[in-house]
Amino acid sequence: MGGLVGSEHHSPSPTTLCGGCGFKITDRYYLVAVERAWHSECLRCGECRRPLDTALSCFSRQSRIYCRDDYYRLFGVRRCNRCCLPLGSNELVMRARDAVFHLACFTCAACNQPLAKGDIFGMRDGIVYCRLHYEMLQHPSTLTFFPSLSSSGGLSNGGLGGNSPGSGSLGHHHSVQKGRPRKRKIPPAAAAGMVYDSSGTNGSASGGGGGGGSSSQQQQQQQRTKRMRTSFKHHQLRTMKSYFAINQNPDAKDLKQLAQKTGLSKRVLQVWFQNARAKWRRNIMRQQDGG
């Protein structure tokens, strides 16, 4: 980096040459930047050609002069679009459009498949997908019993079918089952007193019990202490819904990877998928009964 310094010379040296045009400087006033002399009109950014004669500072790299904005844009510390950690100056990276990734981070956001140079992939909202999952995002009608996808690049609000409970939230609704009744096992989520409701627009997990209980059970539930409430951010919901479209019942290894991506605990993720599967089954039953 070189500071821009203006100097006044009444009788410049005969050997004073301009660092820009290379010609001898005969002007009374000239500029000195990065230990070289310049005609005032020759000191320009090598990228955008903006004059730098009135700038407070300028930057130099490989004998070229840059303005502050272009220097930081071209050579400043960049961060990986996936993990947001800094990229080393000597580190091998993968570039996709304006995004830069660590080699290990350049993977499909849905299946975590590593992508190498020459592989076909797609990007949506700065997120990288392999060819298969990108086509699934682009053409949701080809998916059978999968949540619908919106044109904005993520899963649509309440995309598991039925009425949307809120912006990006997954609602838990009690439905009346037609036909022959059958015994239903209480899911662990209900036993733990945690179900997903539609009270918040950011997708919240709040306390609540399973439906169909007796009045005494409801009274006992009301007497319980205040339960944990988890608020989901949009990128967390997008990641969970994208994975649900691929695998509705993730195993422990999958939950661990999702926990690392979303920052949520495995237990919270497990409950979310349990409720998502339950709602998906109810919607399928409604479609079958309606048909």
125-151 pLDDT tens trace: 778 888 888 888 877 554 433 333 333
The pair phi, psi for residue 265, each rounded to 5°, is -75, 160
**Average per-residue pLDDT in the chain?**
69
C-beta separation of 208 from 197 below 8 A: yes
- Residue identified by tokens 């010379």 is 9
Q: Residues of 109-136 as b/e, b for ≥16 C-beta within 10 angstroms?
A: bbeeeebeeeeebbebeebbbbebbbeb
The pLDDT of residue 212 is above 50: no
- Amino acid type, 11: S
C-beta separation of 25 from 56 below 8 A: no
C-beta separation of 108 from 121 below 8 A: yes
Give the C-alpha separation, 39 to 36, whole Å: 10
Give the C-alpha separation, 230 to 197, whole Å: 11
Over residues 97-131, the pLDDT tens digits come to 778 888 888 999 888 888 887 888 888 877 888 88
- Which domains can be identified in the chain, with CATH numbers? 31-76 (2.10.110.10), 93-138 (2.10.110.10), 234-289 (1.10.10.60)
Q: Among 64-78, 80-94, 216-230, which stretch is predicted with the lowest mean pLDDT?
A: 216-230
* Burial grade of 17 (CB within 10 A; 0-12, 13-18, 19 or more): middle
pLDDT score at 26: 82
The pair phi, psi for residue 98, each rounded to 5°, is -95, 0
Rounded mean pLDDT, 170-194: 42
Beta bridge partners of 64: 61
pLDDT score at 52: 86
The pLDDT of residue 34 is above 70: yes
C-beta separation of 50 from 30 below 8 A: no
Give the C-alpha separation, 128 to 116, whole Å: 12
Give the C-alpha separation, 213 to 93, whole Å: 56
Rounded mean pLDDT, 63-83: 81
Give the C-alpha separation, 291 to 284, whole Å: 11
Nearest in space to 243 (alpha carbons), one of 150, 131, 81, 108: 108
- Mention every residue, 6+ apart, whose C-beta is less than 8 A from residue 212: 174
The pLDDT of residue 177 is above 70: no
> Is 274 or 117 the better-scoring residue by pLDDT?
274
